[in-house]
Amino acid sequence: MSDSHNKSLSAENPGAVTGASILLDEVTKRYPGQGKPAVGGLTLEIPAGSVVMFVGPSGCGKTTTLKMINRLIEPSGGKIVINGEDVTTMDGDKLRRQIGYVIQAGGLFPHMSVATNIGLVPKMLGWDKARIAARVDELLELVSLDPAVYRDRYPKELSGGQQQRVGVARALAADPPVLLMDEPFGAVDPITRQRLQDELLNIQSELQKTIVCVTHDFDEAVKLGDWIAVFDEGAQLVQYDSPERILANPANEFVENFIGSGAGLKQLTLSRVNEVKLAEAVTALPGDLASDVLSRLQGAGGKHAVVLDRRRRPIQWLSRRQLSRLQIIDDTVDPRIPVIGDKSTLNDALDTMLVASSEAALVTGNRDIFKGLITVQTVMEAISAAHDSALNDGDAPVGLNSGAIPTTAIAAALAADAADARSAVEAEHGRARA
Ligand X SMILES: Nc1ncnc2c1ncn2[C@@H]1O[C@H](COP(=O)(O)OP(=O)(O)OP(=O)(O)O)[C@@H](O)[C@H]1O
Tell me which residues touch ligand X (CB under 6 A). Answer: 31, 34, 38, 56, 58-64
* CA–CA dist 108, 78 (Å, integer): 32
- Nearer to ligand X by C-beta: 59 or 262? 59
**Which among 303, 305, 311, 314 is positioned nearest to 337, based on CA atoms?**
314
The helix or strand, by DSSP H or E, that contains position 258, with its residue range, turns out to be helix 253-259
For 261, 281, 295, 298, 428, the CA distances from 285, given in Å and listed in that order, are 44, 13, 15, 17, 67
The nearest distance, CB 240 to ligand X, in angstroms, is 16
Angle subtended by helix axes 376-392 and 346-355, to nearest 10: 160
Q: Nearest approach, Cβ of 404 to ligand X (angstroms)?
A: 23
Nearest residue (CB) to ligand X, 61 versus 84 = 61
Is residue 80 a contact partner of residue 87, using CB atoms and an 8 Å limit?
Answer: yes
Please enumerate in sequence order all residues whose Cβ is within 8 A of that of 126, keeping only pairs 6 or more positions apart, or say none: none
Q: How far is the CB of 107 from ligand X (least distance, A)?
A: 15
Measured CA to CA, the distance from residue 40 to residue 431 in angstroms comes to 19
The helix (H) or strand (E) run that includes residue 248 is helix 243-248
- CA dist., res. 374 & res. 345, Å (int): 12
Cβ distance to ligand X smaller for residue 186 or 341: 186
Q: Which residues pair with 375 in a beta bridge?
A: 360
* Spatial contact of 99 and 180, defined as CB atoms under 8 Å apart: yes
Question: Distance between the two ends of the chain, CA-based, in angstroms?
Answer: 37
**What DSSP string describes 370-392?**
EEEEEEHHHHHHHHHHHHHHHHH
Please report which helix (H) or strand (E) contains residue 66, including its range.
helix 62-69
Nearer to ligand X, 62 or 71 (CB): 62
Q: Which is nearer to ligand X, 38 or 339 (CB)?
A: 38
- C-alpha 274/C-alpha 265 separation (Å) is 18
Q: How far is the CB of 66 from ligand X (least distance, A)?
A: 8
Pick 29 or 151: Cβ nearer ligand X: 29
Query: What is the rounded CA–CA span in Å between residue 230 and residue 249?
Result: 13
For residue 205, with 0-12 CB atoms within 10 Å meaning exposed, 13-18 middle and 19 or more buried, which class applies? exposed
Shortest reach from residue 378's CB to ligand X, in Å: 38
Comparing C-alpha atoms, which of 374, 376, 380 is closest to residue 314? 374
Smallest gap from Cβ 213 to ligand X, in A, equals 12
Instruction: Give the shortest CB-76-to-ligand X separation in angstroms.
Output: 12
Of 260 and 394, which CB lies nearer to ligand X in the complex structure? 260
Q: How far is the CB of 185 from ligand X (least distance, A)?
A: 14
**What DSSP character marks residue 211?**
E
CB of 166 to ligand X, least distance (A): 23
Residues 6+ apart with CB under 8 A from 103: 167, 181, 182, 183, 184
Q: How far is the CB of 58 from ligand X (least distance, A)?
A: 3
Nearest to 103 by CA among 187, 206, 31, 14: 187
If the CB atoms of residues 103 and 173 are measured against ligand X, the closer one turns out to be 103
- Degrees (nearest 5) of the Cα angle 332, 336, 338? 115
Is the CB of 27 or the CB of 421 nearer to ligand X? Answer: 27
Instruction: Determine the Cα–Cα distance for residues 161 and 142; give it in Å rounded to an integer.
Output: 14
What is the nearest approach in angstroms of ligand X to the Cβ of residue 78?
15
Q: Which is nearer to ligand X, 34 or 366 (CB)?
A: 34
Q: Which CB, 106 or 122, lies closer to ligand X? A: 106
